[in-house]
Amino acid sequence: MSRYRHSLPQLSGDLFLTGAGLETDLMFNHGIEVKHFASHTLLPDKVGRQALTNYYRGLLTLAQETGAGFILETETFKAQMFWAETFGATEDELHEINNQAVAFAAGLRGEFSANEQPIILNGGVGSQGDAYNPEPKVAAEQAEHYHAKQLSWLAQTDIDMVTGYFPESVEPVGFVRASRNSGLPAAVSLTLETDGRLHTGQPLQEAIESIDEATDNGAAYFMVHCVHPDHLPGIIEGADWARRIRGIRCNASRKSHAELNESETLDDGNPVELGSQYKEIKSRMPWVNIVGGCCGTDLRHVTQIARAIAGSSEES
C-alpha cells in the first residue's frame, strides 16, 4: 500500500537524499554490465540484483546516519513501451517488470523501516526516446497518451510518486497530465547542457514556467539533473520559478553529454569539491531540500553532499 501518495513528506522542506549515478557506478566501479544502460535488466540476474541491493543499502544507511529522508527510485526508467523492441519484451512483460521493480524497492524500504525519516517510493520514468539524443519534440497530447500506460501500471503498486526525466519542456506537459489522471503526484526533472539551457536551447526559467502554465502548476516540484554545478544558470533568489526547483542531481564531470557518451573511462570528478558546490547552491537556494548525484557519482559523492548540506543547515 502506498504510504505518502496523498501527502509527500519532502514538501515540508526537510532534507531528503536520493540516488547517485547508478549505471555509471555499477559499470565502471564494480564491473557490472548494464544492458542498454537500463538498470531494470539487472533485477532478474542474481549478481545484478545483489549489486543493486548493495548500492541502495549504502545510500539508505547514509540517510539514516545523517538524519535525512530518502527518495528511493524504482528501476523503471526504460521499462516502457518505446524500448520494448530493444529488450524483446511484450507489453505484459514490461508491466510485470514495473511490478517487480516496485516490489524490489518496497523490500528495501522494509529492510530500513527503523529509519526515523520517511523513505518514499518513487517511480523513475524516462522520456519517449533517447534522453541524451532526443527525437524531435513529442506533442503534449501524444506524450500524455504514451505515458498513461506506464503510469497506470505504477498506480496499481505501492508507489508513492513518480519523477519524469526530460531533455525538453513539451513532453513533460503530457507526463504531468497523465500522472494527474492516474492519481500519482509527479515531479519533473530537466536535463541541462553545459550552457545551463535545455537541449533545445530553451532557458530553464522559460521551460519551468511553460510546463506550469500548461498544467496549471500540476507538478509537485521540479528538479535539474545531469549537469555539473559550474554549468547551472544563475538563479534569481526568491523568484517564483526558481522556488519551484526542490531537487538537484549533478554530474561529477564537467564534460558535455556528447563527451561523456564517447568516453571509455569514468570521470568521477572530486567528491569533496562537489559537496562544497552543493553547499554553495544551498546558500543561494535554501528551499532546495532533495539532493543526490547523476553521471559519474557514487556513494562517496552523495556522502560529501549530505555532510555539506547538513552542515550548512546546522550553521543557518
- Looking at residue 316, its pLDDT comes to 45
Q: What is the CA radius of gyration of the chain?
A: 18
Q: Who contacts 154 (Cβ-Cβ below 8 Å, separation ≥6)?
A: 74, 76, 98, 102, 123, 162, 182, 184
Domains of the chain: 16-307 (3.20.20.330)
Which pLDDT tens digit goes with each residue over 85-115?
Answer: 999 999 999 999 999 999 999 999 999 999 9
The pLDDT of residue 308 is above 50:
yes
Confirm if 76 and 94 have CB atoms less than 8 A apart: no
DSSP 169-216: SSHHHHHHHHHHHHT--EEEEEE--TTSS-TTS--HHHHHHHHHHHHT
Which pLDDT tens digit goes with each residue over 6-38?
Answer: 999 999 999 999 999 999 999 999 999 999 999
- Looking at residue 257, its pLDDT comes to 77
Which pLDDT tens digit goes with each residue over 154-176?
Answer: 999 999 999 999 999 999 999 99
Which pLDDT tens digit goes with each residue over 222-281?
Answer: 999 999 999 887 666 668 899 999 999 999 988 777 777 777 788 899 999 999 999 999
Q: Helix axis angle, 171-182 relative to 204-215, nearest 10°?
A: 40
The grid cell for 7 is 501527502
CA distance between the termini of the chain: 37
pTM over 0.75: yes
Dihedral sign for Cα atoms in the order 190, 194, 199, 202: positive
Q: Who contacts 151 (Cβ-Cβ below 8 Å, separation ≥6)?
A: 123, 125, 162, 178, 179, 181, 182, 184
Give, as one character, the DSSP assignment of residue 137. P
Nearest C-alpha neighbor of 248 from the set 60, 65, 18: 18
- Looking at residue 135, its pLDDT comes to 60
